[in-house]
Structure 1
């Protein structure tokens, strides 16, 4: 059984404490589950300093894996193998949200392609979190917000969004999720991928990646809080 990739957002100011759920998860991973845990950081020196300031086990820092723009291409395949063998990987950046505008994005993408679970500890901005969890390139992206409710405004907005050649983030009310997926399936190329993040950071969190038809076939409950990321 495969492990999972966990994005662990950290304070931008390293003098601030780590969020409580993230701290408890890392502490458990570094003690009870150490044998199956891999800790991946962006920069060794600040990464170690932050870890120790949060009073997490000192002995773990010697085994940190350095993953940044210089090492990501070489290390990503090995990390995927570790995940497939049952290890859990905890990905942290120097400060902020990992995989959002940093090399972790490609690792997330590879996980989706290999059907490896990706999740994250709590983060306060659902839009940024959905983008990071998507693994979709987002050096440039459009936040389209909530679509108009009625036609012709809704149809016109959808045509404009579908015609965009950049990553686009969409939102709508839970009871219009089914309608939105039907509209997208009728308008976009069948091979164009979307990422659907539902009930983020909750016990019912569900993340789906792939063509719209595939996502619709996997959904059992359509009335969900969601954010949708449309790939270019």
Structure 2
């Protein structure tokens, strides 16, 4: 589904694993922007005590702490629809875990999935690992996944590689060179069928583009593009 301009955005806020480390400048400025437009912002946190402690350490406005919304394994099912509704009304949501990357082995995967399905923009503040970043942004349940890396170049080896990968009963993470993006999707449709998949292109860049849906749909949307990418097949 095309992104709806009237909708807000779901921001995944990557935070330091070590509490003593500072928050990335981009993430800090983004949160300050959300604070400045408090009425149009939703601050989703995993656990009050550690998030409050970090929030204060990052030098952010303490008054916002009273606006925190607990979003974790105990509350997400109950409040997910309400959060989605508010984002669709134009509010921005800032999702933070206790430390690290939200929606990667942390609450948020289903929320990201719903956003993709409804055409809500999802993005993340700078994160150093492209694989975990793609997984978090994918909306695909990757509690277990296999990283397959780059397929071989030669056509016969490549097809055999993908056929063997199709036997793996968990999400598959693939990479390839930008000029093989269309080719890999064509091959994936042939080998995997029309499965749900995700493509993250130019992650964390100015031209970042995320695509979610059936492989045939993704193929139509990105055919001919040449961009750095990560493909995740459900």
TM-score when normalising by structure 2? 0.95
Q: State the partner residue of 1:76.
A: 80
Q: State the partner residue of 1:212.
A: 215
Kindly provide the CA deviation profile for residues 89-140 of structure 1, in whole angstroms up to 9, marking residues without a partner as x: 0000000000001121111111111111110000000000000000101111
Q: State the partner residue of 2:56.
A: 52
Unaligned runs of 5+ in 2: 1-5
SS of equivalent to 1:106 = helix
CA distance in structure 2 between the aligned counterparts of 1:220 and 1:36, rounded to whole angstroms: 36
Q: State the partner residue of 2:145.
A: 141
CA distance in structure 2 between the aligned counterparts of 1:65 and 1:100, rounded to whole angstroms: 19
* 2:145 counterpart of 1:129: no
Q: State the partner residue of 1:156.
A: 160
SS of equivalent to 1:98 = coil
Q: Which runs of 4+ in 1 moved over 6 A?
A: none
Q: State the partner residue of 2:12.
A: 7
Kindly provide the CA deviation profile for residues 15-44 of structure 1, in whole angstroms up to 9, marking residues without a partner as x: 11100100011011101x222111100000
CA distance in structure 2 between the aligned counterparts of 1:219 and 1:208, rounded to whole angstroms: 9
Q: State the partner residue of 1:177.
A: 181
SS of equivalent to 2:42 = strand
Unaligned runs of 5+ in 1: none
TM-score when normalising by structure 1? 0.96
The count of corresponding residues between Structure 1 and Structure 2 is: 229
* 2:229 counterpart of 1:226: yes
SS of equivalent to 1:27 = helix
CA distance in structure 2 between the aligned counterparts of 1:204 and 1:113, rounded to whole angstroms: 21
